[in-house]
Amino acid sequence: MNKISFGTDGWRGIIARDFTFDNVRLVTGAVAAYINSKGLGERGLVVGRDNRFLAEEFAETVAEELNRQGISAFMCCGATPTPVTAYAIQLKKAAGAIMLTASHNPPVYNGFKFIPEYAGPALPHITKEIEENIRRLQKGDPCDMRGLIPPEGRYGLLVEETDAGACERSDFHPFEPYVKHISEVVDLEMIGKAALKVVIDPMYGAGIGYLEHILGQAGVQLEVFHNTRDPLFGGTLPEPSGKTLEELKNRVKAGGAHLGLALDGDADRFGIIDSNGEYITPNQFLPLLYYHLNTARGWRGPVARTVATTHLLDRMAVRYGQKVYESPVGFKYIGQNMLEKNCVLGGEESGGLSIRGHIPEKDGILAGLLAAEMVARHGKSLSGILEDIYREFGWLYSERLDLHTTPEQKQEILDRLNLWEPRELAGQEVARKITLDGIKLVLADGAWVLIRPSGTEPLFRIYVEANHMEQKSQLQQEVRELLKIQ
Ligand SMILES: O=P(O)(O)OC[C@H]1O[C@H](O)[C@H](O)[C@@H](O)[C@@H]1O
- At 415-431, the pLDDT tens digits run 999 888 999 999 999 99
Helix axes 364-378, 175-185, angle to 10 degrees: 40
Q: Are residues 387 and 416 in the same domain?
A: no
Please identify, among 362, 393, 424, the residue that sits at the C-terminal boundary of a domain: 393
Nearest residue (CA) to ligand 1, atom 12? 9
pLDDT in the model for residue 121? 97
Q: Are residues 159 and 229 in the same domain?
A: no
CA of 7 to the centre of ligand 1 (A): 9
The answer to whether residues 264 and 105 touch, using CB atoms and an 8 Å cutoff, is no
pLDDT in the model for residue 210? 98
For residue 199, being part of any structural domain is answered with yes
Q: Are residues 294 and 403 in the same domain?
A: no
Counting from 1 in the atom list of ligand 1, the atom nearest the Cα of 332 is 14
pLDDT in the model for residue 458? 79
Counting from 1 in the atom list of ligand 1, the atom nearest the Cα of 331 is 14
The answer to whether residues 370 and 345 touch, using CB atoms and an 8 Å cutoff, is no
pLDDT in the model for residue 1? 65
DSSP string for 201-224:
E-TTSTTTTHHHHHHHHHT-EEEE
Nearest to 208 by CA among 79, 313, 121: 79
Nearest to 474 by CA among 444, 449, 445: 449
Q: Is 454 in the pocket of ligand 1 (CB under 6 A)?
A: yes
For residue 463, being part of any structural domain is answered with yes
pLDDT in the model for residue 407? 81
Q: Are residues 403 and 347 in the same domain?
A: no
Mean pLDDT of the chain: 93
Nearest to 399 by CA among 456, 344, 457, 471: 471
Please report, for the chain, how many H helices and E strands are present, in that order. 15, 21
Q: E-assigned strands of 174-278?
A: 197-201, 221-224, 259-263, 270-274
Counting from 1 in the atom list of ligand 1, the atom nearest the Cα of 334 is 14
Q: Are residues 389 and 416 in the same domain?
A: no
Q: Is 456 in the pocket of ligand 1 (CB under 6 A)?
A: yes
Which residues constitute the domain of residue 417?
397-482
Q: What is the CATH number of the domain that holds 478?
A: 3.30.310.50
Q: Are residues 146 and 250 in the same domain?
A: no
Which positions of the chain have pLDDT values less than 50?
144-164
Nearest residue (CA) to ligand 1, atom 16? 330
Q: What is the CATH number of the domain that holds 275?
A: 3.40.120.10
In sequence order, what are the residues at sequence separation of 6 or more whose Cβ sits closer than 8 angstroms to the Cβ of residue 229? 51, 79, 204, 208
For residue 63, the one-letter residue type is A
The answer to whether residues 111 and 11 touch, using CB atoms and an 8 Å cutoff, is yes
Number of domains in the chain: 3
- The DSSP secondary-structure symbol of 485 reads -
